[in-house]
Chain A
Amino acid sequence: MRKTTFCTGLAMAAAMAWTVPALADETCMSPYIAKIQGIEDYVYVWTLGVEGMGDEQDKLVTIDTNPESKTYGQVVSVLSVGGRNEAHHSGLSDDRHYLWAGGLDSSKIFVFDIHSNPRQPQLHKVITDFVEKTGGMVGPHTFYALPGRMMITALSNNVDHGGRTGVAEYNNDGEFVASHWMPTDEDLRGAVKTGQHADGYGYDLRVKAESNVMLTSSFTGWSNYMMDFGQMLQDSTAMQRFGNTMVVWDMHARKPLKVLDVPGAPLEIRCAWGEDNRYCFTTTALTSQVWLLYEDEAGEWHGKAVADVGVPSEIPLPVDISITADDTGLWINTFMDGKTRFFDISDPHAPKQVFEEVIGSQVNMVSQSWDGDRVYFSSSLLNNWDKTGDADEQYVKLYHWDGEKLAHQWTVDFYAEQLGRSHQMRFGAYALYGKRPDADAKVAMAE
């Protein structure tokens, strides 16, 4: 039998912190949302359409991940949404009934119903007026649930398509609530500029609820993330427009407190799960470093570089990261060499790489199950940043991890199936909704 359990909400999550030895989310999501602690039934892959391939548009691809199912490791649903929106990241609502997925180019947000039929998601709502409602934010990126809310970081703006931007707040009905602009030198919004930078850029968002802290990182604006990667690397003007900051916010008040210098485009943020582990990690995409963001005994937050990823001068380009449930390990993918690396972070101030393996010619996202036994990888970084020719592999791969080595289980080739470029992965499970597999899935599992 599959073993799937779930819990919901802050109170329950907080209560379980003392009772469950390894409380964690399966892929480093908000502590406020329901979790899959057993085997996931599906992985939902937010996929970029490619000109000249299939129906050429973005789509949500559902892959069966239940090893007892007949269609295990196969695509079981494809839902096209219209347009090439620069499909990028997605996030689950706090009740995990809906998956919000954004387009960095069109700024459209597609809200999928994944609870009515987890095997076959439906398009529930399209939010088309994100730019207008937020007052000019462009490129919705991270979707991060807080109770009754969806926090959405943006990457750019409608004025100059540069990196100055903000965080939008929506309610669970998909209605706009508020805009929280990133602090700039001209308007620090009450924050303290602790170093040389207050660029106003944005990227990821995570919370360390025990500290009432929300952290944001910084990437680059539309002009760069939509530009051909090779063209951009040769454009010294464009290369000056990457983020060098992280911002520490008062989570409840949504007020920026401190702007920290983190040079070289800090991207994904992953916070430790242990109640007393008051720290988070990020990696800098351009300078290839692991940074620790940590709270000192006085309650002040700081940032410092604690490790290199590969050889920084070769620009391995760290992209997605994933922290283990027990806060002892951190997966770090590097796009350019197609490798995943596993760092021992038992001492968060001195991470050490203990494992590496090439996943493909290029690799971007990594998502692990809550128990860390299963690790999924996908390939696409950005539509105009992916590699060319034969190196443009597009896939989702599942590996099993025993703590020492990865064992490949299956690959879904997204080009062979005419799907497009595979980006972010989120998990689904029937048990989250007190359901059992529907008729189709039962048939699939019967044999």
Chain B
Amino acid sequence: MHNPARMRFRTLAVTLAVTSFCAVVYAETSGELDTPEEFDTSHTQGPGDVKEGYESRDYETRSRSLLKRRGVKKDLIRFAQNPPLGLPPVPIPAENPLTRAKIDLGRKLFFDRRLSINDTFACATCHIPEQGFTNNEMRTAVGVEGRSVLRNSPTLYNVAYLTRLFLDGREISLENQIWQPMTSHNEMAAPSIGWIINKIRRMRDYDGLFEKAFDGEEPNILTVGQALASYQRTLLAANSPFDRWYFGNQTNAVDESVKRGFGVFSGKGQCIVCHTMQKEHALFTDEKFHNTGLGYMISFSKGSKDAPKTTRVQLAPGVFVDVSNEKIEAVSQQKLPNDLGLYRVTENPNDRWRFRTQSLRNVELTAPYMHNGKFDTLREVIDFYDQGGIPNELLSPFISPLNLSEQEKQDLEAFLLSLTGSTVPEIVADAFAAPIGDLSLEDPNWAHEETLGY
């Protein structure tokens, strides 16, 4: 069972840690669950609606009960104070020092569906904890009223390190970033920043929480962002088998296939050129923008005479039909612009279809892959790069055919699967313990006694 004394001891150990005691601290923050028996960890990795094998008529459900999806609140600040093995120190803005009160408040905001215009959408609606803080159940995201979003929901694991947010890099800090999804018409669709602040101030379950976390300050344009950023900075998933082998010198932490796969990754595969590593740690991203050709292909495939005339559609386990694209077009209401990546931010024609390199950490949990969720499996991603991406005049010079053997591809996939952080179950368990903010009769609404005050 949960042991508060033990928790306090661990927290104290973390707090007192200094660089010279790094090994000791690592032992305390290596991502092992404090008390694994406290909850069923089978709920923490992957959708509860398991669809593996759905392609076959032999598919059998292994659905999990929503009522058994229960968590335990954890002390996530220790991850940020002493990151799990393989991660560098977490950059904390001087104007927003990390505290437990802010993390707790940020977590509450993160799961609050009331922050959207119609009380239906929270940050966690697209960034689902057990689905790698992304959404494994659709290729590109869907926002309020079902409005289509151009891109696949990115994972929030290790987002603390990013200096360019969104895949086109248009934001520079987590504190800033949070306002865009909350106010975007096709995401949470809040009418304005002021509307959100006003609503939080009128929701009684927030009474005193901001004041406690921010030294008397109310919810405002700074504190809302700072709280949400604080929670997200604690979502640090590392101390993976690879980390324990490569950075922790545990020879048996991974098998030989992973070790060979790392050789492919850093050698023949050239993956490491963009998915970079440092001597003491690795984020597996250079945070730069590259054109793989995928965006180019999508932009020009629409209406092309060479484009396929039909789409394979699954109707039930093992049941597929080919549907004419004409028929699909007849029920496609939402016309989205082409996704030109970094160009949308710079309008530099050389930036067309360039997207920020995504980290490879925890890719086991974050399917489907690429900026538009094009690929269901890591093997498809490997095959894409093995063929050299999609040729176009702006293709990254780092991408070219690799001629990987079947064994090399399998090894590379094994390496990628070894990057899943051992801290994940604890982070997800903590997320499960968060209350989901659903509209209650106490909340402001035009149909209630308490209104938004307009």
Contacts and interface: CB of A to CB of B under 8 A. Distances in A.
A184 B376 contact: no
Nearest to B446: A82
A7 interface: no
A228 B332 contact: yes
B146 A126 contact: no
B60 to A, nearest CB: 4
24 contacts: A128-B441, A128-B447, A129-B440, A131-B438, A135-B67, A136-B436, A159-B436, A161-B125, A164-B48, A181-B65, A181-B67, A184-B65, A185-B61, A228-B146, A230-B328, A230-B333, A233-B313, A237-B138, A240-B51, A241-B49, A244-B61, A264-B319, A313-B321, A386-B331
B131 interface: yes
B328 to A, nearest CB: 5
Given A160-B49, A223-B137, A315-B327, 7 more contacts: A132-B439, A159-B436, A199-B63, A239-B315, A315-B313, A315-B323, A388-B332
Nearest to A196: B60
Interface in B271-325: 311-317, 319, 321, 323
A226 B145 contact: yes
Contact of B145 (A105, A108, A284): A105
Q: Which of B47, B331, B332, B333 has the most CB of A within 10 A?
A: B331
Given A223-B138, A287-B315, A186 B63 contact: yes
A333 to B, nearest CB: 16
Contacts of B331: 229-230, 233, 385-388
B69 interface: yes
Contacts of A200: 49, 63, 65-66
Interface in B116-166: 118-120, 125, 128, 130-131, 135-140, 142, 145-146, 148
A231 B148 contact: yes
B67 A315 contact: no
Contacts of B311: 233-234
A360 interface: no
A225 B137 CA distance: 13
A66 interface: no
B447 A126 contact: yes
A255 to B, nearest CB: 16
Contact of B316 (A186, A264, A313): A264
B49 A163 contact: yes
Interface residues of A, number: 72
Nearest to A106: B118
A284 B317 CA distance: 13
A336 B327 contact: yes
Given A163-B49, A181-B66, A241-B51, A231 B317 contact: no
B64 interface: yes
Contact of B61 (A85, A129, A196, A234): A196
B373 interface: yes
Given A160-B131, A244-B316, A388 B63 contact: no
A120 interface: no
Contacts of B136: 237
A336 B340 CA distance: 33
A198 B319 contact: no
Nearest to B367: A237
Interface of A: 82-86, 105-108, 126, 128-129, 131-132, 135-136, 138, 157-164, 181, 184-187, 196-200, 223, 225-231, 233-242, 244, 263-265, 284, 286-287, 312-315, 336, 383-388, 391
A184 B120 CA distance: 25
A164 B66 contact: yes
Q: Which of B69, B332, B440 has the most CB of A within 10 A?
A: B332
B330 A233 contact: no
A238 B51 CA distance: 10
A84 B63 contact: no
* Cβ-closest 7 pairs across A and B: A230-B332, A226-B146, A187-B65, A263-B316, A229-B331, A184-B63, A286-B315
State which size class the interface on B falls in: 35 or more
Given A126-B447, A229-B331, A237-B138, A199 B146 contact: no
A159 B44 CA distance: 13
A223 B135 CA distance: 10
A228 B68 contact: no
B242 to A, nearest CB: 27
A20 to B, nearest CB: 40
Q: Which of A82, A237, A238 has the most CB of B within 10 A?
A: A237
B19 interface: no
A240 B314 contact: yes
Contacts of B438: 129, 131-132, 136, 158
B305 to A, nearest CB: 19
A315 B313 CA distance: 10
Contact of A237 (B323, B332, B373): B373
Q: Which of B64, B312, B376, B447 has the most CB of A within 10 A?
A: B447
A241 B131 CA distance: 15
B39 to A, nearest CB: 14
Contacts of A230: 328-333
Contacts of B48: 159-160, 162, 164
A82 B69 CA distance: 34
A385 B331 CA distance: 6
B59 interface: yes
B244 interface: no
Given A196-B59, A237-B138, A231 B47 contact: no
Contacts of A85: 118
Interface string B318-356: 010101000111111110000000000000000000000
Given A228-B148, A234-B328, A386 B333 contact: yes
A228 B334 contact: yes
Given A132-B439, A159-B436, A264-B319, A187 B68 contact: yes
Given A226-B146, A241-B51, A231 B63 contact: no
Given A159-B436, A228-B334, A229-B331, A185 B139 contact: no
A68 B269 CA distance: 80
Interface string B420-438: 0000000000000000101
Contact of B317 (A225, A244, A383): A244
B263 to A, nearest CB: 32
A287 B119 CA distance: 34
Contacts of B145: 84, 86, 105, 226, 383
B54 interface: yes
B368 interface: yes
A185 B66 CA distance: 11
